Amino acid sequence: MNILITGATGTVGKHLISHLEQRGTGQRVFYAVRKPALARDQLPGRTWQIRQFDFEDELSYRPALQQINKIFLLRPPKLTDVKRQIVPLLEEAKRSQIEHIVFLSIQGVNANTWTPHFKIEQAIKEAGLPYTFLRPGFFFQNLHQEMGADIRQRDEIFVPAQARVFNFVDAAEVAEVAALALTTEGHLNQSYTLTGTSPIDYYRVAAALSDALDRGIRYANPSIPYFLFRKLAQGKPLPFALVQTVLYRYTRIPEQERFKHTLQRLLQRPPTGLQAYLEQNRELFEPKPPLGQNKGTD
């Protein structure tokens, strides 16, 4: 069985590679990357498994899918035109007789039909491709990847979410479920909402950070204009800033979707909680010394 992983060098992709290697069930794993030369540094020892692939280059589809049985599909954040950038890939997957697509979607996708994730789910179904849809909550990793600079430099969480609650989950555990779906039976045409222990707002996240880091972290709760202004001042593209605004302020999670036991059932253990994750990754939130300043010098 041959598996192709898109987003192999990203947060979920790296964990998925690790989980597939640990499972050792006889599958061969290939990595779909846009720039193979750069990916070789991030995927050492796996050169023969790297396949050149670009969502925006249809000519790359067929060679990348050659002799592939299953695909882990992750939409790059910048791709929003599903009809032009995703549907042609699904059509090629159908022609290549792909047996299973595991797609990384989002929690509450059916209540947010404006999202690319919803459109991709529908396109996969319309193509008649066997699927598993993973619908995780917000990743813990977003706290240090997207919000980390503000936490490290300003001791604040800076997102326009007001007091809305979110359910957080560890990307590594979502990747573990993806590995299960790709290598074990019983997951075809299933949709899994994957949540952590309980939904919380960013005031409580800030309190948990304060406890874990032994310093005060506040939730700034900025207005939308101020959030956009600061993101643009930081050099972020306007479309990115707008998408972030919509995700934090306007994404709707139906009450019945806010907490599910699915992740615990699939992993056969409780999912990682916020406090445990923060304590395990405390160093990612610590202020960084100025450039040129050596740590540990006399």
Question: Whole-angstrom Cα distance, residue 215 to residue 155?
Answer: 8
**pLDDT for the residue numbered 290:** 62
pTM above 0.85, yes or no: yes
Query: pLDDT (tens digit, 9 = 90+) per residue, 218-237?
Result: 999 999 999 999 999 988 88
**pLDDT for the residue numbered 298:** 41
**pLDDT for the residue numbered 236:** 85
3-state helix, strand, coil in the chain (%, to 5): 45, 15, 40
Q: Which has the closest alpha carbon to 182: 21, 35, 11?
A: 21
Angstrom CA distances, 15 to 68, 116, 139, 218, stand at: 20, 24, 13, 30
Q: Which has the closest alpha carbon to 194: 275, 134, 267?
A: 134
Contacts by 88-91 with C-beta closer than 8 Å and gap 24+? Answer: 88/58, 88/61, 89/55, 89/58, 89/61, 90/123, 90/124, 90/127, 90/129, 91/127
> Which amino acid, 147?
M
131 three-class SS: strand
Angstrom CA distances, 41 to 7, 174, 205, 208, 230, stand at: 15, 25, 35, 35, 33
pLDDT in tens, the chain (298 residues): 999 999 998 999 999 999 998 887 678 999 999 988 888 888 866 777 999 999 999 999 999 999 999 999 999 887 888 999 999 999 999 999 999 999 999 998 998 888 899 999 999 999 999 999 999 999 999 999 989 999 999 999 999 999 999 999 999 999 999 999 999 999 999 999 999 888 899 999 999 999 999 999 999 999 999 999 999 998 888 888 888 898 898 877 777 777 789 999 999 999 999 999 999 999 999 987 765 555 554 4
Domains of the chain: 2-139+168-194 (3.40.50.720)
